[in-house]
Amino acid sequence: MSEHKKGTIYFVDAGPGDPGLITVKGRDYLQICDCIVYDHFAPAEVMAMIPVGTILHYVGERPNRLPLTHDEIVQMLVELAESGQTVVRLKGHDHPELDCQEVRLLKERGVPVEIICCMGGNASRIERPLSCLRVMVTLPPTQAGDVGEKLRELGADPIFYSTTMVEATDDPAGWEKLVTLPPDNLWLIFTGENGVRYFLEKFGKQVGDLRQLAPFKIAAVGHETLFALEQFHLVPDFVPSGLTVDELIHEILRDLNLRGASVVRVRGSMTDDLVEKNLNLAGADVLSLTVFRTYFPDWAPQSKIALLCKPPEAVLFASEPAVEGLYHNLTEDESNQLLSRLKIFSLGPQVSRALRAHGIISFHQAELHTTAGLLAALLDHAGKA
């Protein structure tokens, strides 16, 4: 990158939200500039590239406040440039005409301007099923990338607002007890994809040989859970006819005699203890083994403002905590107001229950309760719209 010039205003085109379309030069200026002037058109994915400590000046819409006028923005840019700072004016693809009024006014005042366009953009897109649909993806970063890639292939603009984070956690006492369980009448219970993945990863490190799972029978509920087990070539011994944890509990108590059985309930940190309570009452010895931690990230203030002022058109929720994570970052009123403006897609019954608990009754529930099913529900709705 050529040496940047103090006092120059760099207009950086952020593109349509795909981080792959912003140029290397544009990304470099986001990294080295002293301050950035941006508005509600700036994609959240591009805002996430900005280093902590960069001074941000928001000039877009806020609740109950109009955005700054072109003249006011230009005056701010001039004052920042005259103070000797390297200034980036970040422009979103919803306002792609970089040779715009702000540029003209700056040139009229003799302020040096450099324009850095993005690669491609909406003009280069072919028509696809979800063309230009702005979709909010709430999955953790470890899962959001694949979903975002599929959305882009379908023509959508994914907007990443992770409402939960998931990471492996240690439960030394639980693992110590697991390897000393008596070899007869052993059960593993899985109620989610993360439980399967983190348990088997940890089992490989803690115990070693996956063949030592042979004495265990497996009970599992939910399409995502079954799909995750399939990836490890594991076939469950018990699958309820329903798709919720409540139905799993009901059918286990109805169809299985677990008195005296050793049951390992694989779970996350936010999972409730209904399985443990009910199976203990049925006479089982239940070991609660926590293999992952779920927590709510705290969004940056500018990210919240951008979301509320320029909301997407649809949102995907893949878990109950994902719903709660939205309400963690926004107030109840803000969350409900936002969701009232969007098409909401729920992965399954437990997610739908969490939405209803907040008074949200208008949403689309996927028939297949996997992320692929979630995308299929979105495609189905787009085809009928």
pLDDT at 17 over 70: no
pLDDT at 345 over 90: yes
pLDDT at 94 over 80: no
| Predicted pLDDT of residue 52 | 80
Structural tokens at position 64:
């109950």
DSSP E strand boundaries for 80-122: 87-91, 113-116
Q: What is the mean pLDDT of the chain?
A: 85
Statement: the pTM of the whole predicted model exceeds 0.75: no
Specify the DSSP class assigned to residue 216: E
- 3-state helix vs strand vs coil in the chain, percent to 5: 40, 20, 40
Say which amino acid occupies 5: K
State mean pLDDT over 166-183: 90
Domain ranges of the chain: 9-123, 134-164+297-384, 167-295
**DSSP characters over 228-294:** HHHHTT---SB--SSSSHHHHHHHHHHH---TT-EEEEEEETT--SHHHHHHHHTT-EEEEEEEEEE
| Predicted pLDDT of residue 22 | 79
| Predicted pLDDT of residue 20 | 66
Is the domain spanning 9-123 CATH 3.40.1010.10? The answer is yes
CATH number of 167-295: 3.40.50.10090
Tell me phi and psi for residue 97, to 5 degrees. -75, 85
The CATH T-level fold of domain 134-164+297-384 is Rossmann fold (3.40.50)
Q: Are 137 and 318 in contact (CB under 8 A)?
A: no
Per-residue model confidence as pLDDT tens digits over 328-339:
999 999 999 999
Specify the DSSP class assigned to residue 124: G
Lowest-confidence segment of 92-96, 165-169, 203-207, 313-317 by average pLDDT:
92-96
Same topology, domains 134-164+297-384 and 167-295? Answer is: yes
* Short-list 98, 302, 236, 153, CA closest to 88: 98
Lowest-confidence segment of 56-70, 173-187, 265-279 by average pLDDT:
56-70
Residue indicated by tokens 């979709």: 135
Quote the CA–CA distance of 324 and 294 in Å, as a whole number. Answer: 11
Tell me phi and psi for residue 238, to 5 degrees. -140, 125
